Amino acid sequence: MAIKKVCVIGSGTMGSGIAQVSAQAGYETTMVDVKQEFLDRGMSTIKKSLGKFVEKEKIKQEEMNKALARLHTSIDMENAAKDADYVIEAVFERAEVKLPIFVQLEEICPTETILASNTSGIPVSLLASATKRPNKVIGTHFMNPVPLMKGVEIVKSLLTSEETLKVSLDFVNSLGKETVVVKDSPGFVTNRIVTLVFNEAAKLLEENLASIEDIDKIEKLSHNWPMGPFELADMVGIDVVVDLLEGIYQQTGWERYKPAPLLKRMVEIGYTGRKVGKGFYQLFG
């Protein structure tokens, strides 16, 4: 199956990054969101990112222009997805937001269209259950920031077909990414591990064991991490971290995934990280 048209639902941190790499790789790509202002924000992130690549001479100005010419935006999902060969959903990490989208995509898209989700931990089989094509539903878990991070976790549910897996691996590899195939289980592999790091770091801060600068510093120096847990949480989005922990906790009942109270307080006061200009470093730095 040849992929020509890609539709990305959601133009936030991840959706804009996925749309960017898709357009850069030569696919006609449409990014969908609920409001034009969100799409404008997504496009401005993409232009900034491509501009940096040009500045650092990683790509030529002409490549940037071509990528931008392949990128389209729409607040009309029906129009944008009706002739897409591959759809990637990247909206909020909440089943109640994602499920209606899969119900609609089932109605809108041709029967051969593959429906992928960038979910970080919601079961792919649950999303597939909203469609009549569970064999064509798969997880493509890109990492943040998408244009820079090489790895993509490919999540195969019990019903994802080998053909869908093959097409998805070829597509994601064509974006210059490397893939690892994992089973459909809460948090997959990456988030089973990294969410515990965020949770434990927040507990250390609550216990006043060390400052956030020192916690980040010692982890970077000791384990060769490029970023400390708080720097990374601010980049990922603290609301995203809480949603991830809640999701794994609700699905498994494992106490260690119960979000640290401090993480929840941060979300309640609107300190959700870099995307809103205020996170751990603005409050505790």
- Give the interface with ligand NAD as residue ranges (CB under 6 A): 9-15, 32-34, 38, 90-93, 97, 101, 118-120, 141, 143-144, 236-237, 240
Nearer to ligand NAD, 66 or 225 (CB): 225
Closest CA to 31 of 180, 188, 146, 183: 146
| CB of residue 150 to ligand NAD, shortest distance in Å | 14
Nearer to ligand NAD, 90 or 215 (CB): 90
Nearer to ligand NAD, 14 or 204 (CB): 14
Closest CA to 217 of 233, 231, 202: 231
Catalytic residue of the set 16, 117, 118, 120 = 120
Instruction: Determine what percent of the chain falls in helix, strand and coil, rounding each to the nearest 5.
Output: 55, 15, 30
| CB of residue 104 to ligand NAD, shortest distance in Å | 9
Residue located via tokens 């232009």: 47
| CB of residue 81 to ligand NAD, shortest distance in Å | 11
φ/ψ of residue 138, rounded to 5: -150, 160
| CB of residue 59 to ligand NAD, shortest distance in Å | 23
Is 191 part of the annotated catalytic residue set? yes
Helices (H) and strands (E) in the chain, counts: 13, 8
Is 153 part of the annotated catalytic residue set? yes
Q: 3-state class of 133 per DSSP? A: coil
Catalytic residue of the set 93, 153, 219, 246 = 153
Nearer to ligand NAD, 14 or 260 (CB): 14
Catalytic residue of the set 16, 22, 93, 141 = 141
Q: CA 169, CA 163: separation in Å to the nearest integer?
A: 10
Closest CA to 157 of 130, 196, 176, 177: 130
**Active site amino acids:** 120, 141, 153, 191
